[in-house]
Chain A
Amino acid sequence: MEDLSRFKQTYFDESAELLAVAESGLLRLTPGEVDSDEVNAIFRAVHSIKGGGGAFGFTELVAFAHEFETVMDGVRNSAIPVTTELVDTLIRANDVLGQMLAYAREGEAAPPGTTDDTVAALRRHLSGEAKPVHAGPAHAEPAAAKAPEPVAAAPAAYPDDEDDEAGIFGDAMALIEAARAYENPVPEGKIRWTVTFRPKADLLMSGNEPTFMLRALRRLGEAQIDCSVENLPTLQNLEAELLFLSWTVTLIADPDVDLEKINDVFEFVADECDIKITAEAPPPAVVEAPIAESEPAPVATEPVPVAAAPVAPPKAPEAAKPRANAGGGGEHAGLTSHTIRVDLDKIDRLVNMVGEMVITQAMIAEHVRELPQGEFQELLEGLEQLAQHTRELRESVMSIRAQPVSSVFSRMPRLVRECAAATAKEVQLVTSGETTEVDKTVVENLVDPLTHMIRNSIDHGLEGPDERERVGKPRAGTVHLSAQHRSGRIVIEITDDGRGINRPKVLSKAIEKGLVQPGASLSDEEIDNLIFLPGFSTADQVSNLSGRGVGMDVVRRNITSLGGRIGVYSTPGEGSRFVLSLPLTLAVLDGMVISVGEERFVLPLTNIVESLRPKPADLHGLVGKCDVMMARGEYVRLVYLHQLFGIPKAVTDPTRALVVLVETEDGSRLGLVVDEVLGQQQVVIKSLEANFRRLDGVAAATILGDGRVALILDVAGLREMSRHHESGTTRAVAALPAPELEPV
């Protein structure tokens, strides 16, 4: 039900916009100069409000919108001349429609007579009568669609909702009539029939359509149709082909309608449903039953997913009263919107301002640290609060930009279809976690990498149907695309159940292309990662899909430029899994400020394991080429930042410097040798590329509290740089991925 209420929310939001469209259109409507585009726009706006309202069962609103729309249709066909009076009426009608929407949103019934004056005025225009007609007793007015008289009196014929195919509206109108009939006692000489129609779940399978039967009943007299949704399962368990609804129809018919006639309606389905038909005497006492039935269940506010039978809200004042109280006064000036559309630039400006604020706050915090301890207690507390508010503000602002990844995922089924057709493979795409939210920029930048990876999975990963059958797999391959939040990042996985990476082939290709020295022994993981090398393609033939020279290296570059990582895990014969890990936002990160020489850098906190100062006994040289350190029972390679970046005046002796143990996304560890760790700080990520370019080992830049720029380090990049650094002189394996990886 929550999902439905979200749709409802969307309906009200859109209706508010449509109302505004209609109003501005109406205000421009000048007698004598009718712009048909303008009129059409108004008509469409009203029609859309009506259509949506019908789907949610807002019968009164629909009835009124229909009156409004009918007049607009007349204007559209030039059957009704545009006069100042007409425009006034229409503007008033628009206001009333807004009120009706407001009532509907609150789940309240509009007070009786809300629409009567306006409806009367609209009809006067419709019938071409200029003289005002007294509204009279409000309820005596029959509802529009089923009241042929005024329509017939109009100079032109109005097609009764030719585009109302679903019959939503017609039924709604019938309900209104039925609802109104309630207030009147059963007319003299009529009989009230109560028909309980409980079809079996498989009724639809035999080609029967309950809507037709309900319509047939309606032709026999005035019918109120109540739909029972109590057997409706939850959405997960809903079988689309089964019927879970049942109906209670209260029919007020002429005496010549007898039991047989009613039974005839159900003639073809008699075996497939339970029908109970009772005739009741005219006294109104029996009316109590359906009212009592419909009252406890809040059916009026629940949209029923079957177009045939929206449920009429009981017009009984008992039902309306408590709601009015809840609504607080029940005064509706009109429909106000709960969402606004905002120019993205404005949000970005806000994000930037918050970013600047975070910087300023860090700056103040830095200065305050220099104040004598113990004094300024209140100032410190205030600053602590400010820091907290800043953080919350930042999160709120960021959430404005957050979007579910479904906007990207939803593009993939089509891609899969096309790829499957192009490769003559059978592919099934399974997605999960579509609602995972991530910054808009990240979402947008995911399209290309995901497109490429899914193509790649289908083209290279999955086997053809025949081959799959041979190896005992289902003919259709499965590609699973999933997203989830994991420790402050979004992790997207693309899993296929194909043949996995063909390691011997990859290796021989890499050797052939000179990417690996012949005879080098590589681990499985290292071979798998060869596919990320530029220009690497194993397809025997260059296909239309992939193998155009842009390969997984581009994917990796795209992901890296978003501050993300990509890893591949493959089991021969069982499939491959690509794991992307991306930051949730590209704007802010928690970092550790470190210093090397006179330079300061920021290390993303997510990469840091710990920092320590090694003892001389912990340090060892590895074949005289690189240093390793024993940390917590494991040897980690030391990487000297001052060497990689050529920074003068740095501490070169690790026992006098600090080693920050960092971990990359794929779990490998490094010991980064730095001079000092200055402290943890939230930093705003600033682009280096916007005005300059990308640099190896640098993810982005930021501005520290003193206004100076500091580079944010890219740990995986540093690792590759360090391999590169050693490559000329060290082992073949270490040298392997580096030379072609990042063209410097």
Chain B
Amino acid sequence: MSTSTALATVGGTRTDAMAINGSEEQYVTFTVGSEEYGVNILSVREIRGWTPESRLPNLPDYVRGVINLRGIIIPIFDLRARFGGGATDVTKRHVVVVIQVGERTRGILVDAISDILAIGHDSIKPPPDVDSGMVDAEYLSGLYTAENRMVTLLSVERLFATDNGDVDGLHKAPPALEKAN
């Protein structure tokens, strides 16, 4: 459990340097392969080192499995596999970003944390008009340029489709406790 890193210490040095005003929001960015992604810091609960998961049967490969997060069981999604890059070959250096989506807590497996950026609303560019068959643009909330790097900002709500709490692209689970009328 020592692999858990409190987020405050990651962001501590930078928040001093950067004035946070109303039009800016902070994003945690991380890398998957050569690409850099960002999620709103408010949805990030913690960042932890990779711990072996327990597999779940009969699910797409981007559902890595589940881990024990201090007594609660959270699913881990492999972002590389989610974007069609195949399952990540995990090492101890891989990182899980624990994200709060509504009532649910979920982990996404990424290669490494790279930065915490304060991004103004104005500097977020809309995603280009890509062919919907090529990129599932649903979960992209915008693009940001940081020192020549392009950061793809993700909408966690849409990344894990909110409807019924099911994962985007997964078949719908039977509603667990429908009201029997």
- Interface centre among A599, A644, A742, by most chain B C-beta atoms within 10 angstroms, is A599
User: Which of A599, A600, A703 meets B71, CB within 8 Å?
Assistant: A703
Report yes or no: A698 in contact with B57, Cβ–Cβ below 8 A: yes
Q: Give the size of the chain B interface in residues (CB under 8 angstroms).
A: 38
User: Which of B57, B71, B177 meets A647, CB within 8 Å?
Assistant: B57
Report yes or no: A550 in contact with B181, Cβ–Cβ below 8 A: yes
Residue in chain A with minimal CB distance to B67: A709
Report yes or no: A692 in contact with B75, Cβ–Cβ below 8 A: yes
* A residues in contact with B171, CB < 8 Å: 743-744
Assess whether B52 is interfacial by the CB under 8 Å rule: yes
Report yes or no: B54 in contact with A709, Cβ–Cβ below 8 A: yes
* A residues in contact with B104, CB < 8 Å: 690-692
The 26 listed contacts between A and B (C-beta, < 8 Å) are A449-B180, A554-B178, A557-B175, A557-B176, A557-B178, A558-B178, A558-B180, A561-B176, A646-B58, A686-B71, A688-B73, A690-B73, A690-B103, A691-B72, A692-B75, A692-B167, A693-B176, A697-B57, A698-B56, A701-B66, A707-B1, A707-B68, A709-B53, A709-B65, A743-B174, A744-B58
Interface size class of A (residues with CB under 8 A): 35 or more
Assess whether A183 is interfacial by the CB under 8 Å rule: no
Assess whether B14 is interfacial by the CB under 8 Å rule: no
* A residues in contact with B180, CB < 8 Å: 448-449, 451-452, 550, 554-555, 558
A646-B57, A686-B72, A703-B71 known; A692+B177 contact, CB < 8 A: no
In the bound complex, CA of A382 to CA of B158 (Å):
52
* Contact string against B for A residues 613-647, beta-carbon threshold 8 Å, 1 for contact and 0 otherwise: 00000000000000000000000000000001111
* A residues in contact with B125, CB < 8 Å: none
Assess whether A524 is interfacial by the CB under 8 Å rule: no
Distance in Å from the Cβ of B65 to the closest Cβ of chain A? 8
In the bound complex, CA of A449 to CA of B72 (Å):
28
Assess whether A710 is interfacial by the CB under 8 Å rule: yes
Report yes or no: B68 in contact with A693, Cβ–Cβ below 8 A: no
Report yes or no: B165 in contact with A693, Cβ–Cβ below 8 A: yes
Assess whether B55 is interfacial by the CB under 8 Å rule: yes
Assess whether A245 is interfacial by the CB under 8 Å rule: no
Q: What 13 new A-B contacts, CB under 8 Å, besides A693-B164, A743-B172?
A: A356-B71, A644-B57, A646-B58, A647-B55, A691-B75, A691-B105, A692-B104, A692-B106, A693-B173, A694-B176, A695-B173, A698-B57, A701-B66
User: Which of A356, A554, A644, A694 meets B173, CB within 8 Å?
Assistant: A694
Assess whether A610 is interfacial by the CB under 8 Å rule: no
Residue in chain B with minimal CB distance to A353: B71
Distance in Å from the Cβ of B97 to the closest Cβ of chain A? 15
Residue in chain A with minimal CB distance to B103: A690
Assess whether A352 is interfacial by the CB under 8 Å rule: yes
* Contact string against B for A residues 543-557, beta-carbon threshold 8 Å, 1 for contact and 0 otherwise: 000001010001101
Assess whether A445 is interfacial by the CB under 8 Å rule: yes
What total of A-B pairs shows CB separation below 8 Å?
Answer: 114
A707-B68, A744-B171 known; A445+B73 contact, CB < 8 A: no
Assess whether B138 is interfacial by the CB under 8 Å rule: no
Assess whether A530 is interfacial by the CB under 8 Å rule: no
Pick the 10 closest A-B CB pairs, nearest first: A645-B57, A452-B180, A693-B173, A709-B54, A692-B75, A448-B180, A554-B180, A691-B104, A703-B68, A709-B66
In the bound complex, CA of A742 to CA of B172 (Å):
11
Which residues of B56-78 have CB atoms within 8 Å of chain A's CB atoms? 56-59, 65-68, 71-75
In the bound complex, CA of A355 to CA of B68 (Å):
14
In the bound complex, CA of A694 to CA of B105 (Å):
15
Report yes or no: B73 in contact with A686, Cβ–Cβ below 8 A: yes
In the bound complex, CA of A558 to CA of B68 (Å):
26
Assess whether B179 is interfacial by the CB under 8 Å rule: yes
Report yes or no: B177 in contact with A352, Cβ–Cβ below 8 A: no
In the bound complex, CA of A352 to CA of B67 (Å):
17
Report yes or no: B54 in contact with A710, Cβ–Cβ below 8 A: yes
In the bound complex, CA of A692 to CA of B180 (Å):
22
Report yes or no: A693 in contact with B177, Cβ–Cβ below 8 A: no
In the bound complex, CA of A449 to CA of B55 (Å):
32
Residues of A within 8 A of B (CB): 352, 355-356, 445, 448-449, 451-452, 548, 550, 554-555, 557-558, 561, 599-600, 644-647, 686-698, 701, 703, 707-711, 742-744
Residue in chain A with minimal CB distance to B66: A709
* B residues in contact with A557, CB < 8 Å: 174-176, 178
Assess whether B35 is interfacial by the CB under 8 Å rule: no
Residue in chain B with minimal CB distance to A450: B180
* B residues in contact with A452, CB < 8 Å: 180-181
Residue in chain A with minimal CB distance to B55: A599
Assess whether B166 is interfacial by the CB under 8 Å rule: yes
* B residues in contact with A548, CB < 8 Å: 181
* B residues in contact with A352, CB < 8 Å: 71
Report yes or no: B73 in contact with A687, Cβ–Cβ below 8 A: yes
A690-B73, A744-B171 known; A711+B54 contact, CB < 8 A: yes
* A residues in contact with B52, CB < 8 Å: 708
Report yes or no: B55 in contact with A448, Cβ–Cβ below 8 A: no
Distance in Å from the Cβ of B102 to the closest Cβ of chain A? 10
Report yes or no: B58 in contact with A695, Cβ–Cβ below 8 A: yes
A690-B104, A695-B56, A698-B57 known; A709+B178 contact, CB < 8 A: no
A688-B66, A693-B165, A701-B73 known; A558+B177 contact, CB < 8 A: yes
Distance in Å from the Cβ of B18 to the closest Cβ of chain A? 32
Report yes or no: B73 in contact with A703, Cβ–Cβ below 8 A: yes
* A residues in contact with B164, CB < 8 Å: 693
* A residues in contact with B179, CB < 8 Å: 448
* B residues in contact with A554, CB < 8 Å: 178, 180
* B residues in contact with A445, CB < 8 Å: 177
Distance in Å from the Cβ of A25 to the closest Cβ of chain B? 40
In the bound complex, CA of A382 to CA of B67 (Å):
31
Distance in Å from the Cβ of A45 to the closest Cβ of chain B? 39
* A residues in contact with B56, CB < 8 Å: 692, 695, 698, 711
Which residues of B22-76 have CB atoms within 8 Å of chain A's CB atoms? 52-59, 65-68, 71-75
Which residues of B137-181 have CB atoms within 8 Å of chain A's CB atoms? 164-167, 170-181
Which residues of B95-137 have CB atoms within 8 Å of chain A's CB atoms? 103-106
* B residues in contact with A448, CB < 8 Å: 177, 179-180
Distance in Å from the Cβ of A595 to the closest Cβ of chain B? 12
Distance in Å from the Cβ of B180 to the closest Cβ of chain A? 4
* A residues in contact with B57, CB < 8 Å: 644-647, 695-698, 711
* A residues in contact with B66, CB < 8 Å: 688, 692, 701, 709
In the bound complex, CA of A687 to CA of B68 (Å):
11
In the bound complex, CA of A647 to CA of B56 (Å):
10
Residue in chain B with minimal CB distance to A552: B180
* B residues in contact with A696, CB < 8 Å: 57-58
Report yes or no: B176 in contact with A689, Cβ–Cβ below 8 A: yes
In the bound complex, CA of A352 to CA of B66 (Å):
19
Distance in Å from the Cβ of B15 to the closest Cβ of chain A? 29
* B residues in contact with A558, CB < 8 Å: 177-178, 180
Residue in chain B with minimal CB distance to A741: B174
